[in-house]
Amino acid sequence: MFQSFRSAMTWIHTWFGLVLGFVLMGAFFFGALCVFDREIDKWAIPEARFEVQPMPSFDRVLLPEFEAMSPSLETMQIWGIVADNRSSLIDLVSIHETSAQGDARTERVVKMLDPRTGKVTNGDHFKIGSEFFYPLHYSLTLDWQGLGEWIVAFSGMMMLAALISGIVIHRKLFREFFTFRPGKGFRRSTLDLHNLTGVVALPFHFFFAFTGVLIFVGQYFPIGTTQLAQLHELHEQLEIGESKIPTERSGHAAPLASVDAMMAEARRRWAAHGMPGEVGVIHLRFVGDANAHVAIYPAATNSLQDLLNGVHFNGATGAVLQVDPAPNAVQQVAGFLTGLHLQPFRHWPLRWLYALGGLAGCVCIATGLLFFVEKRKHQHAKQGSQAIHVVDALAVTTVTGMVIATLGILIVNRLLPDTLPAGWPRHDDLERYAFWFAWLLAMAHAFWRTAPVAQGRMAPAWVEQCWTITVMSVTAVLLNWITTGDHLLRTLSDTYWPVAGLDLALLTVAAIAALAGRKIKRRAENASMIAESVAQDAARA
Amino acid sequence: MAARISSRQQIALHVVAALVANYVFTWGFIALGVAGLFAAGTEFHDAESLASMLGLLVFLTAFLWTFAARSLPRACLVLVGGGALMAGTASLIQALLIRAY
């Protein structure tokens, strides 16, 4: 089908890049936002705007809350507490059995607790960062049959294919490191920027696409639960024989021992092994039974992996059952790969590099799409084809439309009152609707205002959406001020970076969008002036 | 125009065939990796993560190769045949291990 290896690689790069570039842009953009997911949560939930606290007392503060969340101790399955190193509010998760219709089902209750007061907050909050942008970047929130995850994973694999084929196409890899010619015409500088952002962050792009697919690989190749399920079962039987952790209730009632004492013991053990740290995750099972199990894990503040070094206790006696063994070589490699993607650590310069790498990925993909349009638009205009109109409209939808949707959810988050009137949908649903509605509007506008591309001209949609972004970004910052009183002067003087940082980022976005809009407008005017004078010359001749 | 459409269909067929054949091949590779490593004494989940890591790289390489190969039917035959053979061997190892315990 292809004349040479290089022409095959060019084909893969162009067409898979075009079709899946839109998905990849989303994964990279929202993935980059997820570096600051907990900070975005704090911007979206004013109640969460305080410094991160240590884990509160389980016996006095958390236990009563869990008892209130669970109908009875007999049906409780899991109580989980997640107090990671960047969240101020603590997540409490309770899973219990419900057998209302005769068949056993489980119900999951999630609450957020303010560790300073020990009180559960009003449940109707939406963590836009960690509960929306985060799942969006790997599943597009298309949950049916895991469809979204399959689409993103496939796009991730094709990103890897595009990177390798890109290297094959461009043999002058080293030179492209230093090549950017902004004055050499739009098409040339677009391609320069595409190559530059692709090559400079090549290891980053490769690593993130690869580890992103790797994290959910068990879903795409579910071999251990299908073809080799028997082998998996055999392994579990062998493991149960070795482990001291109970797997079922004993049937003998026994009260829960002091979990605070277990936390102290876990901290002491970590410190004794040269890894002092705070408690990050507590996991309880079979509470109220003699076989109660409490697992305590440190917060991964300075490490690549969480859920390492867990200490397991018998919940009824408080005795240590076992300590997680140090990871072996395979676990270290796997943990390193997924840990670098999930970044549980709190190293801020490194986190910023991640965000910039993600944005460089966006620039690389967007300039690829733009180059596709620029290269073909004059030829398509001559042929009278509409294909390039569709591609440009989708490019507008993905590049500026995605930012508009993101700003839409932030603005609606600040506009909705804390307590919604009776009969309204929940906060999270309304904010989600706002996000998709804003994106849909941007898409409709993009298709309407990119029609001139089919005649080989610049689409006005780009400029108009740039202005929209500027207005929306400033609106979001103002709304944050009006609804919470947290203006930039205050958050900066308090050095409360989660909110100050997002406000500053929004203002930066506003400025960049305004500059871009002005520049594109000027270029379009120049181009149309040249076209007019050419037409006049032709008419005169 | 007719030639363009038939070439479009050919391309679509090429892409689908390459994906399916590579999926089967990678499935076989990971399955054989898991069963083989487990039989050699590796912990089950470690075997899974090691085989999957390599499996993704195998998918990537084989996928690019399929497009560069001179004959698509032959490439697909090699991939599907190889995948089935590896998956079959994995099931055989599983059956032997289950009987042994």
Give the C-alpha separation, A432 to A352, whole Å: 27
Give the C-alpha separation, A233 to B90, whole Å: 15
Give the C-alpha separation, A437 to A439, whole Å: 5
Give the C-alpha separation, A264 to A59, whole Å: 13
- pLDDT higher than threshold 50 for residue B99: yes
Confidence class for position B13, pLDDT limits 50, 70, 90: confident
Disruptive mutation site among B15, B27, B38, B64 for chain A (greatest number of A CBs within 10 Å): B64
Mean pLDDT of A236-244: 83
In Å, how far is B82's CA from the nearest CA of chain A?
Answer: 17
Q: Which residues of A touch B72 (CB under 8 A)?
A: 1
Per-residue pLDDT tens for A284-304? 999 999 999 999 999 887 777
Q: Which residues of B touch A160 (CB under 8 A)?
A: 60
Inside any domain, residue B76: yes
Inside any domain, residue B13: no
Residue A452 DSSP class: G
Per-residue pLDDT tens for A75-90? 888 999 988 888 999 9
A161 touches B at CB < 8 Å: yes
In Å, how far is B81's CA from the nearest CA of chain A?
Answer: 17
Taking CA atoms, A332 is separated from A339, A513, B10, in Å, by 10, 43, 45
For residue A285, list its beta bridge partners: A78, A293
- The domain tally of chain B equals 1
In Å, how far is B84's CA from the nearest CA of chain A?
Answer: 12
Confidence class for position B1, pLDDT limits 50, 70, 90: very low
Which amino acid would we find at residue A194?
H
Mean pLDDT of A120-124: 79
Q: Which domain holds residue B65?
A: 20-100
SS (H, E, C) A473-519: HHHHHHHHHHHHCCCHHHHHHCCCHHHHHHHHHHHHHHHHHHHHHHH
* Mean model confidence pLDDT for chain A: 90
Inside any domain, residue B10: no
Mean pLDDT of A349-353: 93
Question: Helices then strands (H, E): number in chain B?
Answer: 3, 0
Inside any domain, residue B36: yes
Q: Which residues of A touch B6 (CB under 8 A)?
A: none
Give the C-alpha separation, A478 to A488, whole Å: 10
Inside any domain, residue B9: no
Please report which residue ranges of A277-426 form alpha helices under DSSP H: 329-342, 348-383, 387-415
How many Cβ contacts (< 8 angstroms) between chains A and B? 96
pLDDT of residue A101: 62
Inside any domain, residue B7: no
A276 touches B at CB < 8 Å: no
Strands A76-82 and A279-285: antiparallel
- pLDDT higher than threshold 60 for residue A367: yes
Inside any domain, residue B84: yes
Per-residue pLDDT tens for A249-262? 999 999 999 999 99
Disruptive mutation site among A6, A169, A223 for chain B (greatest number of B CBs within 10 Å): A223
Q: Do A224 and B59 touch (CB under 8 A)?
A: no
ipTM: 0.93
Q: Which residues of A touch B98 (CB under 8 A)?
A: 230-231, 234
Tokens encoding A338: 């997924």
Between vectors from CA B29 to CA B25 and to CA B30, what angle results, nearest 5°?
120
